[in-house]
A and B are shown apart, each in its own frame.
Chain A
């Protein structure tokens, strides 16, 4: 299947960065000029909304709608707060996700240009890239790109004589997956522990340092210049179904040719798998996580699923980051679940009890099951955790995300998990515990 290269059109096979001269030779910063010259500050948002761009970080929230929540001060400049912020979430830590790194290393100016346009659209005067601490190569390349953009007058005061000014800074994180949760990210950016905040207020009302703030994913922002340059109709026509545009897809694990590729949203799951060479070593597909560690499993029954937000949602999972983790028919499911739940247990911020205490319990049960030390009632107790740590039971989406694959694992691979409990296992009081439904 041919790729549709929009975001990856300039990326070189060896990922060597496209610096500003090459970027501009290839049409870079044209969209910024167009936005500043032909669009008022409040006119870019509706264009993005019309294009149907949805957040590429995993949640899929419509970007133009998110931007429309930002308060506007054009008609009341006296009330303008000291700062309005754009924050780009480059804290790529979802297990199995490696797409934003490709863009930031291979085409850093695409992100910078997108950020300038997005800041113009939401009325921000300061923008931050919140970059995960391990992405040191991304830091070097982004910092050089920022410096280059400054020299050309695309950043700083009065950009291209438009009257619009923007400061753009890099923040290197110091670890922890929870920083990817947008309100926890803001806590981290303020120099605190990355504990999520209550919503409401949402960041648009009270975000970074209490000021109006929008948080967007790297890939989301990289779509913006292309929409400004080519229009909403063009963008919508790229997608095969309702969702507009292309998406970076990835595959890792037991595929023959792991990597990244760009396809229209709505492409069939089976076609994506085929692009990555199918299952390696002549084995068969057992299952996959379609878009990172927190997206519920899909199975060989789902190969006709259109890979867009609604399509994957309709079969009980999420498109997530669209970087799929694939495992073959020789893979014990208990190991996959144990690895995933270890990650989520370790990365809980510890703020709320169900997450802090429930996730390690889940991990412990899976470790015991794998070691042949399972007890009757364990499967039901795992079922119970899916409910107790599900949506609405915890302070943020971390634990519900961790329960996504567990719930799907209990559904699709239940017999395999049950068979791990030894026949002679003594029945402790766990069955009773599981049956006493506290809900």
Chain B
């Protein structure tokens, strides 16, 4: 059993104060933990559940529903490549194949050096500039295989 940090507990308590039922902060608690630790381990999830006042099972039910909660370790930079219709029409498949081959991984995997995790993502709301992806919180638009190489080089 691990304990969450002061900062994590404080952030979760703040979120709990925003709802008439503090249990509503279940999702935020998972996000807080993920922000601090990169992903949500079983132990961290159980500790967060204790803070929120729900059971680990309730927490797990929620954690496995939402795709932005990572229940496995991820790389330093998470690439989310939009696979929805507007990007599909403007070259998604070529960019996807290039990303997979240059990183040497498939969707859901992390590079051996721990640098990148590659995930597909629903429409990112960047439809007029597709194909698009996010690396961390940064949007990259008008992707081509060449452009992808330049972008990946920017990340350590």
Which residues of A does B touch, CB under 8 Å?
82-83, 92-98, 100-101, 132-137, 169, 171-177, 188-194, 209, 211, 250-254, 258-260, 289, 293, 323, 325, 327, 331, 335-336, 339-340, 342-343, 346-347, 349
User: Provided the pairs A96-B84, A253-B85, A293-B85 are in contact, do residues A176 and B128 lie with their beta carbons within 8 angstroms?
Assistant: no
Residues of A within 8 A of B127 (CB): 96-98, 250, 252-253, 258, 323, 325
Q: A347, B122: Cβ atoms under 8 Å?
A: yes
Q: A97, B123: Cβ atoms under 8 Å?
A: yes
* Extra 15 A-B pairs, beta carbons < 8 Å, given A93-B123, A191-B27, A323-B127: A93-B122, A95-B123, A137-B137, A175-B67, A175-B68, A177-B122, A190-B23, A190-B24, A191-B19, A192-B62, A193-B61, A194-B65, A289-B85, A325-B85, A343-B84
Q: B20, A174: Cβ atoms under 8 Å?
A: no
Complex-state Cα separation, A100 to B121, whole angstroms: 19
Q: A191, B84: Cβ atoms under 8 Å?
A: no
Q: Which residues 101-137 of B have a CB within 8 angstroms of A?
A: 121-130, 134, 137
- How far, in Å, is B40 (CB) from chain A's closest CB? 11
Q: Which residues 4-43 of B have a CB within 8 angstroms of A?
A: 18-21, 23-28, 30-31
User: Provided the pairs A191-B25, A191-B27, A340-B85 are in contact, do residues A98 and B68 lie with their beta carbons within 8 angstroms?
Assistant: no
Q: A251, B128: Cβ atoms under 8 Å?
A: yes
Residue with the greatest number of chain B CB neighbours at <10 A, chosen from A94, A169, A175:
A175
Residues of A within 8 A of B69 (CB): 174-175
Which residues of B does A touch, CB under 8 Å?
18-21, 23-28, 30-31, 52, 54, 61-62, 65-69, 80, 83-86, 88-90, 121-130, 134, 137
User: Provided the pairs A134-B124, A134-B134, A174-B31 are in contact, do residues A343 and B85 lie with their beta carbons within 8 angstroms?
Assistant: yes
Contact of A253 among B28, B62, B67, B90 (CB under 8 A): B90
Complex-state Cα separation, A175 to B89, whole angstroms: 23
Q: B123, A94: Cβ atoms under 8 Å?
A: yes
Residues of A within 8 A of B61 (CB): 193
Residues of A within 8 A of B23 (CB): 190-191
How many residue pairs link A and B with beta carbons under 8 A? The number is 142
Nearest residue, chain B, Cβ from A405: B85
Complex-state Cα separation, A189 to B66, whole angstroms: 13
Complex-state Cα separation, A258 to B141, whole angstroms: 13
Q: A169, B18: Cβ atoms under 8 Å?
A: yes
Complex-state Cα separation, A323 to B127, whole angstroms: 9
- How far, in Å, is B135 (CB) from chain A's closest CB? 12
Contact of B24 among A101, A191, A250 (CB under 8 A): A191
7 closest cross-chain pairs (CB), A and B = A174-B66, A191-B26, A252-B127, A258-B128, A252-B86, A175-B67, A175-B68
Q: A252, B128: Cβ atoms under 8 Å?
A: yes
Q: B24, A134: Cβ atoms under 8 Å?
A: no
Residue with the greatest number of chain B CB neighbours at <10 A, chosen from A137, A253, A349:
A253
Complex-state Cα separation, A194 to B67, whole angstroms: 12
Residues of B within 8 A of A98 (CB): 125-128
User: Provided the pairs A325-B89, A343-B85 are in contact, do residues A95 and B27 lie with their beta carbons within 8 angstroms?
Assistant: no
Complex-state Cα separation, A192 to B26, whole angstroms: 8
Complex-state Cα separation, A335 to B84, whole angstroms: 12
Complex-state Cα separation, A191 to B30, whole angstroms: 10
User: Provided the pairs A253-B89, A343-B84 are in contact, do residues A97 and B125 lie with their beta carbons within 8 angstroms?
Assistant: yes
Contact of B137 among A136, A173, A289, A331 (CB under 8 A): A136
Contact of A331 among B25, B89, B126, B134 (CB under 8 A): B89
Q: B134, A188: Cβ atoms under 8 Å?
A: no
- How far, in Å, is A217 (CB) from chain B's closest CB? 14
Complex-state Cα separation, A252 to B40, whole angstroms: 36
Residues of B within 8 A of A323 (CB): 127
User: Provided the pairs A174-B69, A293-B85, A340-B85 are in contact, do residues A83 and B20 lie with their beta carbons within 8 angstroms?
Assistant: yes
Nearest residue, chain A, Cβ from B29: A191
Residues of B within 8 A of A93 (CB): 122-123, 125
- How far, in Å, is A269 (CB) from chain B's closest CB? 18
Residues of B within 8 A of A175 (CB): 66-69, 122
- How far, in Å, is B63 (CB) from chain A's closest CB? 9
Residues of B within 8 A of A258 (CB): 127-129
12 contacts between A and B (CB under 8 A): A97-B125, A101-B125, A173-B27, A175-B67, A191-B21, A192-B26, A194-B66, A209-B20, A325-B85, A343-B85, A343-B123, A346-B122
Residues of A within 8 A of B85 (CB): 95-96, 253, 289, 293, 325, 336, 339-340, 343
Residues of B within 8 A of A189 (CB): 24
User: Provided the pairs A96-B123, A190-B24, A323-B127 are in contact, do residues A174 and B88 lie with their beta carbons within 8 angstroms?
Assistant: no
Complex-state Cα separation, A346 to B83, whole angstroms: 12
Residues of B within 8 A of A172 (CB): 28, 31
Q: B80, A134: Cβ atoms under 8 Å?
A: yes
Complex-state Cα separation, A95 to B128, whole angstroms: 12
Residue with the greatest number of chain A CB neighbours at <10 A, chosen from B25, B54, B84:
B84
Complex-state Cα separation, A339 to B27, whole angstroms: 29
Complex-state Cα separation, A325 to B68, whole angstroms: 26
Complex-state Cα separation, A135 to B125, whole angstroms: 9
Residues of A within 8 A of B84 (CB): 95-96, 293, 339, 343
